[in-house]
Every structure is written in structure tokens, then in C-alpha cells.
């Protein structure tokens, strides 16, 4: 199995830490968004799209990248980190976009990440120490679930 994660993690590197935790337990290649053009997405069984949340959803640059894809990956997954950790709600826009592009989104993951944006920088930021070991464990369980889902899809179930 070959998985790819395209990651846009610009604020604190939080979402990249999540991707790296996933790559410890899965055959996951990590590409920063700026390098995504070097990869042929069709060569992967599933492609993940991850990034920090900016103004309620994934950052515009990641959204625009997905919007401009000529061919969206057949199977995908979405992940994020944010100040609130409300991944279910905050991943929804990117999930919808991927679905509109014809991709089947197998699942999504979100957790809290350190935030030092604007007033949150006072006192060193909020969510200090996040993501933490519990988040990495949860991210690893998530990617294991994604692998099971890919296998089921391959079997045509």
C-alpha cells in the first residue's frame, strides 16, 4: 500500500507533527504543499490532505491546490490541527471540496495544536504542549483505520 499526505503546516508545524506520527505506523509519504507538484497522486492508493485551520477551515492555499487539481485522488482523507480542535466542523469544507471533485473521503481527523496567533501569543500561546502523545496515538489509530478502509475499497466492498 502507498499513501501520500500533502501537508500545509505553516503556523507552528503542528499538523506536520501529526503527519509524522502517522508515518511511523503507515506507508505514508509526506509532501509539503509546495512540493506536491513533484508527486503523481494517481500512484498512491489514497491521498491525505492536512493543515492548520485558518479562519474556520483549511488554509486558502491548500483549498486552492485541491480546487485546481485536474484529477482528484479516487480515495482521500483529511486532517487538521487547530486552536479549538473542532476537526469535525473545521474539516468539513475541504471534505466537501474533495467530494465535489469526485474523491471518496474515507475519514477525517482533527486535534488541538499550539496557537500563538495574535492575542493568543500572550503568555506563550494556548494549547501548550499540543499536539501531545495522546494526539499522536489517536492520529496513528486514525491512519490504521484509513489503511483498513483502503483495503476494503480495493476488495470492492
Ligand X SMILES: Cc1cc2nc3c(=O)[nH]c(=O)nc-3n(C[C@H](O)[C@H](O)[C@H](O)COP(=O)(O)O)c2cc1C
Distance CA 13, CA 82 (A): 11
10 part of the interface to ligand X, by CB under 6 A: yes
Helix-helix angle 92-100:60-68, to 10 degrees: 10
Size of the site for ligand X (CB under 6 A): 20
Distance CA 45, CA 147 (A): 9
The region of 11-19, 24-32, 40-48, 63-71 touching ligand X under the rule CB under 6 A is 11-19
User: How many Cβ atoms from other residues are within 10 Å of residue 21's Cβ?
Assistant: 21
155 Cβ contact partners less than 8 Å away, ≥ 6 residues apart: none
- Centroid of chain to Cα 47: 9
Cβ nearer to ligand X, comparing 137 with 151: 137
Distance CA 4, CA 131 (A): 21
Binding mask 68-97 for ligand X (x = CB under 6 A): -------------xxxx-------------
By CB under 6 A, name the one of 6, 9, 75, 95 that touches ligand X. Answer: 9
The region of 37-45, 68-76, 93-101, 113-121 touching ligand X under the rule CB under 6 A is 113-121
Distance CA 97, CA 131 (A): 26
58 part of the interface to ligand X, by CB under 6 A: no
Cβ nearer to ligand X, comparing 24 with 151: 24
Distance CA 137, CA 155 (A): 27
Cβ nearer to ligand X, comparing 75 with 113: 113
3 part of the interface to ligand X, by CB under 6 A: no
Cβ nearer to ligand X, comparing 34 with 117: 117
Amino acid at each position: 500500500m502507498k499513501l501520500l499526505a500533502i501537508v500545509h503546516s505553516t503556523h507552528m508545524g503542528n499538523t506536520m507533527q501529526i503527519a509524522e506520527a502517522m508515518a511511523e505506523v503507515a506507508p505514508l509519504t509526506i509532501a509539503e504543499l509546495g512540493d506536491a507538484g513533484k508527486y503523481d497522486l494517481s500512484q498512491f492508493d489514497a491521498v491525505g490532505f492536512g493543515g492548520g485551520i485558518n479562519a474556520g477551515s483549511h488554509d486558502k492555499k491548500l483549498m486552492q491546490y485541491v480546487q485546481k487539481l485536474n484529477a482528484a485522488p479516487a480515495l482521500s482523507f483529511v486532517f487538521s490541527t487547530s486552536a479549538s480542535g473542532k476537526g469535525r466542523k473545521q474539516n468539513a469544507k475541504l471534505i466537501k471540496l474533495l467530494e465535489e471533485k469526485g474523491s471518496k473521503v474515507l475519514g477525517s481527523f482533527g486535534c488541538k495544536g499550539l496557537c500563538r496567533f495574535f492575542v493568543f501569543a500572550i503568555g506563550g500561546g494556548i494549547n501548550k504542549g499540543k499536539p501531545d502523545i495522546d494526539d499522536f496515538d489517536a492520529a496513528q489509530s486514525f491512519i490504521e483505520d484509513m489503511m483498513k478502509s483502503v483495503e476494503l475499497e480495493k476488495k470492492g466492498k
